[in-house]
Amino acid sequence: KENSGRESNVAKIKVVVRKRPLNRKELAKKEDDIVYVEDNSLTVHEPKLKVDLTAYVEKHEFCFDAVLDEDVNNDKVYRETVEPIIPTIFEKTKATCFAYGQTGSGKTYTMQPLPLRAAQDMVRLLYQPVYRSQRFKLWLSYFEIYGGKLFDLLSDRKKLCMREDGKQQVCIVGLQEFEVLDVQIVKEYIEKGNAARSTGSTGANEESSRSHAILQLAIKKHKEVKETRRNNNNNNDVNDSKNGKLVGKISFIDLAGSERGADTTDNDRQTRIEGAEINKSLLALKECIRALDNEQIHIPFRGSKLTEVLRDSFVGNSRTVMISCISPNAGSCEHTLNTLRYADRVK
Ligand code: ADP
Ligand code: MG
């Protein structure tokens, strides 16, 4: 397939739902699969009881840009969501791809392989004559928002702060960026960053469900470096990402578990604070995407740290993909309906 990089007919906002299969535990408990997928729509069969305790089913039907059934693999997910956006990043687009859903619904499983595939395609485009001649380079960074604070996942969880430069560009002070010359290194960065995610005292998965992980791939245009200067200057200056001007970028965001936003009445103070922050950020995110869709001038990004950090992805030439992950089991029905309603409002 030929990609000139000038595709502009890619939808500004795309909302996709992905259903995972029943897991071993749910199968062992003989839980019902209550989610039925057909083309771009899905139906949730909510088990209910009448006052006299007779069981009945309430059906909820939803329709999205795409619904990916449990047999769809990650390769297909990539092609449905991120692949069409990649060429636009070389043409000044800022893109975001979110995974939303309750803990255990498949967000991380879905997000993990996407940056790797994206980097593959981006590196391929970099070597096309049209871009090679423009001295484009690919840079990677990976950080986390936890309790409203930023941590660099690729430099020992160094605490970061955010600043806006006069040109509405978000700058995360101190965030390490690494040049991507070959794709294998991307896998290593992802693994390193994942190992650095919040683990707290109660165990890895539990805590990482309270943070947003953000991996960014940025294309920058670099000034010509004169041979003489390069020879006189051995301090790696040529590889400094600050010497480049941002062309476009894509952010992959593994959001905190959506059910964590409800932890606002927990007995533990820290948990309450985190729950409130998560709740705020997921609400603000929804509002920002809706504002984008309505081409509103005012984007309410100041509502949370998450949306502030993504501010420059909500203005101008932007693309957003929301992947809503859902569990199929009857026990998750309430969370599944919440996730689908959220996605429905973003759509
Ligand atoms: P989350 O990040 O939303 O908490 P995970 O991505 O960790 O959820 O998924 C929970 C479990 O379900 C993991 O063991 C994962 O491997 C498995 N899983 C998730 N989605 C799928 C899928 N589409 N197919 C097969 N297994 C999946
Ligand atoms: Mg996860």
Domain ranges, ordered by start, for the chain: 13-224+243-346
When comparing pLDDT for 329 and 10, which is higher? 329
Bridge partner residues of 139 (DSSP): 179, 218
328 close to ligand 1 (CB < 6 Angstrom): no
According to the model, what pLDDT value does residue 130 have?
A: 85
pLDDT digits (tens, 9 = 90+) for 184-219: 999 999 999 999 987 654 444 566 789 999 999 999
Query: Hunting for tokens 């670099």 — which residue is that?
Result: 222
Q: Tell me which residue has its CA closest to atom 9 in ligand 1.
A: 106
pLDDT digits (tens, 9 = 90+) for 122-154: 999 999 988 888 889 999 999 999 989 999 999
Q: Please compute the mean of the pLDDT values over residues 272-278 and round it to a whole number.
A: 87
According to the model, what pLDDT value does residue 2 have?
A: 40
108 close to ligand 1 (CB < 6 Angstrom): yes
Three-state SS for 172-193 is: EECCCCEECCCCHHHHHHHHHH
Instruction: Determine the residue of 70, 102, 109, 114 to mutate for testing ligand 1's pocket, defined as the one with the most ligand atoms within 8 A of the Cβ atom.
Output: 109
**pLDDT higher than 50, residue 164:** yes
21 close to ligand 1 (CB < 6 Angstrom): yes
319 close to ligand 1 (CB < 6 Angstrom): no
In CATH terms, the fold of domain 13-224+243-346 is: Kinesin (3.40.850)
pLDDT digits (tens, 9 = 90+) for 280-324: 999 999 999 988 888 777 888 888 999 999 998 888 899 999 999
According to the model, what pLDDT value does residue 241 have?
A: 67
pLDDT bin (cut points 50, 70, 90) of residue 1 is very low
Interior/surface letters 275-297, b for 16+ CB within 10 angstroms, e for the rest:
bebbbbbbbbbbbbbbbbeeeee
According to the model, what pLDDT value does residue 146 have?
A: 92
Query: Where is mean pLDDT largest: 64-78, 166-180, 237-251, 296-310?
Result: 64-78
- From the number of C-beta atoms within 10 Å of its C-beta (0-12, 13-18, 19+), residue 180 rates as buried
Neighbours of ion ligand 2 (CB under 5 A): 107-108
Q: Kindly report the average pLDDT of the chain as a whole number.
A: 89
What are the distances in angstroms from CA 290 to CA 14, 296, 320, 337, 346?
Answer: 12, 9, 11, 19, 6
Four-CA torsion 143, 325, 100, 97, nearest 10 degrees: 60
Tell me the CA–centroid distance for residue 236 and ligand 1, in Å.
Answer: 41
- From the number of C-beta atoms within 10 Å of its C-beta (0-12, 13-18, 19+), residue 344 rates as middle
**pLDDT higher than 60, residue 79:** yes
Tell me the CA–centroid distance for residue 142 and ligand 2, in Å.
Answer: 15
Beta carbons of 251 and 310 less than 8 angstroms apart: yes
**pLDDT higher than 60, residue 21:** yes
Tell me the CA–centroid distance for residue 104 and ligand 1, in Å.
Answer: 6
